[in-house]
Chains A and B, each alone.
Chain A
Amino acid sequence: MPDVSGRSRPPRLGGLPDHRGRATWGEKLVPLEEFRRAAARAGRELDDEARAAAARAFSAHVPDAVPVEGPYRRIVVFGGVYSNHRALTALLDEARRLHVDALYCLGDLGGFGPRPEAVWPLVVDAGVRTIQGNYEQALAAGAPDCRCGYTDPRDNRFAEISYRYTAERSSPEFRAFLGALPAHRRVRVGTREILLVHGSPRRVNEFLFESTSPVPFLETLCDRAGADAIACTHTGLHWHRPLPSGRDAINVGALGRPANDGTPLVWYAVVEDRGGALGVELRPLRYDHAALASEMRTEGLPGEFVETILTGWWTTCLEILPARERAASRF
């Protein structure tokens, strides 16, 4: 460390203590050596064996009583429908062509788009196995907001509009349906077991973005979950990271809103057995986005939301994006 005390005078030190040879300890100044001796005495120092045991216990598998569904040969996994019944209809058509064994939805059926209950019969009739997102939890509990937790006043304003619109058009029966959905599921594809969650295995509203979900972190999530793969949504941006251990982390992205990339395409995942390994394909979907946009206008939803559907660029809720994803964003 360079000594900046002599050559670069601070803009002001008036009234502040001079620390030469001294340390701040709480509200007092003490001799530096006294602070360092006290620090060295504090805490614990384990031996190598105890450290190895503590580290093992820290990432140990936490057993889960949820039954494992399947085994399947090929499934479709999607999330973040956001009331986009037109994209959902297009996906269900596509799934029939793909001859999949089952469809899984990772939550957030509502919000953003028009006529929230339009997705309900689609999901039920197609036998889509759904888990709760933060939106389902908030609506079922009658919460005052979507629980996204924004701090930017503009993001909050749009989140409120979207949540209020959806809440006012969600019947008690629809809310009861959402409230009865499970929080997570486990499925087997071939021999591989996949944990399906909305945000992360730990929290329904945790964001797993590609640039902030590093390999060691994802490996530990798999260790703790006792799973060969984790599939999530909630961020609106899709990615797949094969892990060095041979396991997979998959964010299926959003079916209801474009991926902030300047195209109106929406995304979902096809997960299949490939001779004991997991084949993961993230696929774009075209649908009649112009019809959705016109329906949103008729419903009086904000022009900013309609613009996102038409242009593919997010106009709201941007503060959730990490640095890298935000730098690639138009707004």
Chain B
Amino acid sequence: MTIPQVPLAALDTVWFQVAGTVCNLACTHCLVSSSPTNRTHEGMTLAEIRPYLEEAARLGAREYYFTGGEPFLNPELAPILAAALVQGPVTVLTNGVLLSSERSAELRRIADASRYSLDFRVSLDGLDAPTNDAIRGTGTFERILRGVRNLSDAGFVPVLTVTTASPAAATAEGRERFLDLLRGLGIARPRLKILPLFRIGAEVGRGGPYEAWQRLSGDEIGAEGFDHLQCSSCRVVTDQGVWVCPILVNDPTARMGATLTDALGPYPLRHAACWTCHVEGATCRT
């Protein structure tokens, strides 16, 4: 049985697991099982991140994504974002609950000092508190929307990220309702991204694991190229080195090396989660 190998066509996107797997929430569908007690990956300091930024620039990286865990738990996040914004556009993936108006104003100053975009993705899992809070935790619906509004008040146009755990995300009508929810908050330029669920991490306990047949193999995969797979253009940095993609940081065998240059080689589509990227067309990029 052939397992297709995906070459790295370009290092467009460099991800940083900037908070490790440490999160102030413990969402029931989290693909990396982030929680207050999960220290599988630790947060990264600016000093640890800087050499990777320099290496990424030498390799022609286009954009930087910061995720976790919850990035805003990292006490150095502000200087880390400023350092990345010197050399390219930045997107932060956050649960939004720590986005006070003061912090949003500080982010505004950081954004204004750069010629590149600073973008935010805030996760929400339902059109109302009962639906969302069942996944993300009690009281989070209100806190997330407050964070979104604070960002918006500071002049940002955050992207609301909704997974297909929310039934409304599956239909065009449902997607319109999410955009209407944002408009109802006074957000004139709503943006929305829908993400499929990966049946790994905490999601195994909520929705169940992948079926045995959900594996990619065969020569026909890749006949039309690999542009649709983010592993053809990304790598992710954690405190323990460089992994193939942000989905697979909970599998130690998906680590590719100590530096980005070590990780420029191809990678086989041998994980169950690869099925979701290929079949459902998932990408973690905005």
Q: Which A residues contact B (CB, under 8 angstroms)? A: 1-2, 4-5, 8-13, 15-20, 23-27, 32, 35-36, 38-46, 51, 54-55, 58-59, 151-154, 202-203, 210-217, 219-221, 223, 318-319, 322-327, 329, 331
Assess whether A43 is in contact with B73, with CB atoms less than 8 Å apart.
Answer: no
B251 within 8 A of A: yes
Assess whether A13 is in contact with B35, with CB atoms less than 8 Å apart.
Answer: yes
Residues of B within 8 A of A11 (CB): 25-26, 133, 136-140
Assembly CA distance A319 to B36 (angstroms): 34
Assess whether B264 is in contact with A54, with CB atoms less than 8 Å apart.
Answer: yes
Assess whether B255 is in contact with A59, with CB atoms less than 8 Å apart.
Answer: no
Query: Closest approach, in angstroms, between the C-beta of B17 and any C-beta of chain A?
Result: 12
Residues of B within 8 A of A36 (CB): 240, 252
Query: Closest approach, in angstroms, between the C-beta of B184 and any C-beta of chain A?
Result: 17
Q: Which B residues contact A (CB, under 8 angstroms)? A: 9-12, 19-26, 28, 32-33, 35-40, 42-43, 56-63, 73-75, 87-89, 111, 115-120, 133, 136-140, 155-157, 172, 175-176, 179, 188-189, 191-194, 200-202, 204-205, 209, 227, 240-242, 250-259, 261-265
Say whether, besides A26-B250, A38-B252, A43-B262, A5 and B60 are in contact (CB < 8 Å): no
Assess whether B205 is in contact with A323, with CB atoms less than 8 Å apart.
Answer: no
List 8 A-B pairs, Cβ < 8 Å. Answer: A1-B22, A1-B75, A11-B26, A12-B138, A212-B89, A214-B62, A216-B60, A325-B117
Residues of A within 8 A of B88 (CB): 214, 216-217
Assess whether A43 is in contact with B263, with CB atoms less than 8 Å apart.
Answer: yes
Say whether, besides A4-B73, A45-B258, A319-B191, A39 and B240 are in contact (CB < 8 Å): yes
Assess whether B172 is in contact with A153, with CB atoms less than 8 Å apart.
Answer: yes
Say whether, besides A212-B63, A322-B119, A327 and B257 are in contact (CB < 8 Å): no
Assess whether A17 is in contact with B33, with CB atoms less than 8 Å apart.
Answer: yes
Partner of B256, one of A23, A44, A214, A327: A44
Q: Is the interface of B mostly helix, strand, loop or mixed?
A: loop
Assess whether A323 is in contact with B201, with CB atoms less than 8 Å apart.
Answer: no
Partner of B176, one of A20, A153, A220: A153
Partner of A327, one of B57, B60, B155, B227: B155
Say whether, besides A4-B73, A39-B240, A202-B10, A58 and B59 are in contact (CB < 8 Å): yes
Assess whether B200 is in contact with A26, with CB atoms less than 8 Å apart.
Answer: yes
The residue on B at minimum CB distance from A4 is B36
Query: Closest approach, in angstroms, between the C-beta of A16 and any C-beta of chain B?
Result: 5
Residues of A within 8 A of B240 (CB): 36, 39-40
Assembly CA distance A119 to B189 (angstroms): 34
Which 4 pairs of residues, A with B, have the shortest CB-CB distance?
Answer: A220-B60, A11-B137, A1-B43, A214-B88
The residue on A at minimum CB distance from B188 is A331
Assess whether B89 is in contact with A211, with CB atoms less than 8 Å apart.
Answer: yes
Say whether, besides A16-B28, A39-B241, A39-B252, A10 and B117 are in contact (CB < 8 Å): no
Query: Closest approach, in angstroms, between the C-beta of A126 and any C-beta of chain B?
Result: 35
Query: Closest approach, in angstroms, between the C-beta of A222 and any C-beta of chain B?
Result: 10
Residues of A within 8 A of B35 (CB): 10, 13, 16, 19
Assess whether A42 is in contact with B117, with CB atoms less than 8 Å apart.
Answer: no
Say whether, besides A13-B26, A17-B33, A217-B62, A24 and B38 are in contact (CB < 8 Å): yes
Residues of B within 8 A of A10 (CB): 23-26, 35-36, 137
Assess whether A326 is in contact with B62, with CB atoms less than 8 Å apart.
Answer: no
Say whether, besides A10-B25, A16-B28, A153-B176, A214 and B116 are in contact (CB < 8 Å): yes
Not counting A15-B28, A322-B119, a sample of 12 additional A-B residue pairs whose C-beta atoms are within 8 angstroms of each other reads A9-B36, A12-B26, A20-B37, A24-B21, A41-B252, A45-B258, A46-B259, A58-B261, A202-B9, A219-B60, A322-B89, A323-B156
Assess whether A45 is in contact with B227, with CB atoms less than 8 Å apart.
Answer: no
Say whether, besides A18-B37, A54-B261, A42 and B60 are in contact (CB < 8 Å): no
Assembly CA distance A19 to B40 (angstroms): 8
Residues of A within 8 A of B22 (CB): 1, 4
Assess whether A43 is in contact with B24, with CB atoms less than 8 Å apart.
Answer: no
Say whether, besides A19-B33, A44-B257, A215-B87, A35 and B119 are in contact (CB < 8 Å): no
Assembly CA distance A32 to B37 (angstroms): 12
Assess whether A45 is in contact with B40, with CB atoms less than 8 Å apart.
Answer: no
Residues of B within 8 A of A219 (CB): 60
Assembly CA distance A145 to B51 (angstroms): 44
Interface centre among B9, B115, B188, B256, by most chain A C-beta atoms within 10 angstroms, is: B115
Residues of A within 8 A of B201 (CB): 24
Interface centre among A9, A58, A203, by most chain B C-beta atoms within 10 angstroms, is: A58
Assembly CA distance A23 to B60 (angstroms): 33
Partner of B37, one of A19, A153, A319, A323: A19
Say whether, besides A10-B25, A11-B25, A5 and B176 are in contact (CB < 8 Å): no
Assembly CA distance A216 to B117 (angstroms): 15
Residues of B within 8 A of A23 (CB): 38-40, 250
Partner of A220, one of B40, B59, B264: B59
Assess whether B73 is in contact with A1, with CB atoms less than 8 Å apart.
Answer: yes
Query: Closest approach, in angstroms, between the C-beta of B107 and any C-beta of chain A?
Result: 11
Query: Closest approach, in angstroms, between the C-beta of B150 and any C-beta of chain A?
Result: 15
Residues of A within 8 A of B194 (CB): 151
Assess whether A59 is in contact with B137, with CB atoms less than 8 Å apart.
Answer: no
Say whether, besides A215-B87, A220-B60, A322-B89, A152 and B192 are in contact (CB < 8 Å): yes
